[in-house]
Amino acid sequence: MTFSRLTRRLFGASLAALALAGTSYAPAAAADLNALVWCDHSDPNLLKPFEDANGIKVNVKEFEGTGAGLSIVEQSQPGDWDVMVIDSIDIRRGVERGLFEPLADDQLPVADLFPEVVMDQHTKIDGKRYGITEKFGYNTIGFNTSKVDVKDMDSLAALTDPKYKGRIAIYDYYLPVIGMAAMAIGKKTADLTEADLPEIKDVLIKMKGNAKAVTDVVASQTALATGEVDILVGGGEWVTAGIAKENPDLDFSVPKEGAVLWSQSLAMFKDSKNKDMAMKFIQYIMSPEGQARLATSSCYWGMPASTKAALTDEQKKTLRFDEQPGYLSRAQGYPAPSEDLDKKMQDVWTEMIQAQ
């Protein structure tokens, strides 16, 4: 697992978007397939079988976060790009901008997906599918099994337990951690209102009291991997699975109260000049073999969306593949606040950061 490559992908893209300002992009020839992707799709182990089978080159441009990806599209010419990886919950943003082509369900293995990650409320608009979920995971509790009471990790209450004071790192991103704090006190992430914020703030302050650090993705992951902390608030299989061989003591849990579900989808651009090959690429990624290679990408591991992913027994064990139905039954989506509520959530987060 290369920590430096997995930075802001799940945790906002404002810095990346700013870095793109004033920059133009020119993809390679239209005869190839041009893809806007997250780093897990750049793995040669994933791309080469498809390239060899179809006699083409897949040209990838990595980005971090939907905002950064859309900025690239805005600075490109129509037809420059064929496919895009995007947060499942952001498919609608692309459709509203007129970017994506409808995908035919009868050409995709939708029935093979874990039902909870089909997410038609996000991936279908006006009865038409514009994206298909390819990979998912959880913002939850990552931990070192040799340093904690593993049974404690079955409850979010452990994050505010004084016995773990000074042994916790917290991701410095408000939405998933606020979601975890809300679930810790029995609230639904989809139903949060301003009236819930005082209770959520109390939980966050208690977490902060136990924290050795509230820091960025790379630093907090590294702190867990090196033993500087024993628990990572917001971590999951995508943090621990890829380095399980190097440090088998690292693990994750989906507590009884739940975890925050993230998912990523593939979409095809409406102006693609190579739609047949774009569909073949999506079908390949969604095939059992493609799903297994994507799930175990060298950049970061995650759960394949397909129940038929051709994972080895060892890979399934690392990802807790057989336990997913139970995990998904407890998982909740990212909070999706209005603009006003989002600002108030950020204010609460800032107060937590500044708390002594």
Instruction: Supply the pLDDT for residue 5.
Output: 35
pLDDT at residue 146 is higher than 80: yes
The sign of the torsion formed by the CA atoms of 176, 353, 155, 303 equals positive
Percent of the chain residues past pLDDT 90, beyond the cut: 81
- The Cα-based distances of 31 to 27, 53, 272, 275, 282 in angstroms read 11, 15, 11, 11, 17
Closest residue by Cα to residue 211 from 200, 226, 223, 198: 223
Residue 123 sits at φ, ψ, to 5 deg, of -90, -10
DSSP letter at 198 equals H
pLDDT digits (tens, 9 = 90+) for 100-131: 999 999 999 999 999 999 999 999 999 999 99
CA dist., res. 163 & res. 153, Å (int): 13
pLDDT digits (tens, 9 = 90+) for 200-243: 999 999 999 999 999 887 888 889 999 999 999 998 888 888 77
Instruction: Supply the pLDDT for residue 29.
Output: 53
**C-beta of residue 94 within 8 angstroms of C-beta of residue 69:** no
CA dist., res. 160 & res. 99, Å (int): 44
Residue 276 sits at φ, ψ, to 5 deg, of -60, -45
pLDDT at residue 185 is higher than 70: yes
pLDDT at residue 187 is higher than 60: yes
The sign of the torsion formed by the CA atoms of 119, 241, 203, 356 equals negative
CA dist., res. 235 & res. 233, Å (int): 6
Alpha helices in 168-227 (DSSP H): 174-184, 197-210, 217-226
Instruction: Supply the pLDDT for residue 19.
Output: 36
Instruction: Supply the pLDDT for residue 179.
Output: 97
DSSP letter at 113 equals B
Instruction: Supply the pLDDT for residue 293.
Output: 98
Instruction: Supply the pLDDT for residue 239.
Output: 81
Q: Are strands 132-144 and 231-235 parallel, antiparallel or unpaired?
A: antiparallel
Closest residue by Cα to residue 236 from 161, 163, 136, 336: 136
Alpha helices in 227-273 (DSSP H): 237-240
**C-beta of residue 309 within 8 angstroms of C-beta of residue 288:** yes
Instruction: Supply the pLDDT for residue 31.
Output: 72
Instruction: Supply the pLDDT for residue 336.
Output: 85
Q: What average pLDDT is seen over the chain?
A: 90
Instruction: Supply the pLDDT for residue 20.
Output: 37
pTM more than 0.75: yes
Instruction: Supply the pLDDT for residue 193.
Output: 97
Per-residue burial over 311-326, b = 16 or more CB atoms within 10 Å of its CB, e = otherwise: beeebbebbbbeebee
pLDDT digits (tens, 9 = 90+) for 4-33: 334 433 333 333 333 333 334 555 555 799
Q: What is the mean pLDDT of residues 257-269?
A: 97
Percent of the chain residues past pLDDT 70, beyond the cut: 92
Instruction: Supply the pLDDT for residue 27.
Output: 59
pLDDT digits (tens, 9 = 90+) for 286-319: 999 999 999 999 999 999 999 999 999 999 999 9
Q: What is the mean pLDDT of residues 120-148?
A: 96
pLDDT at residue 163 is higher than 80: yes
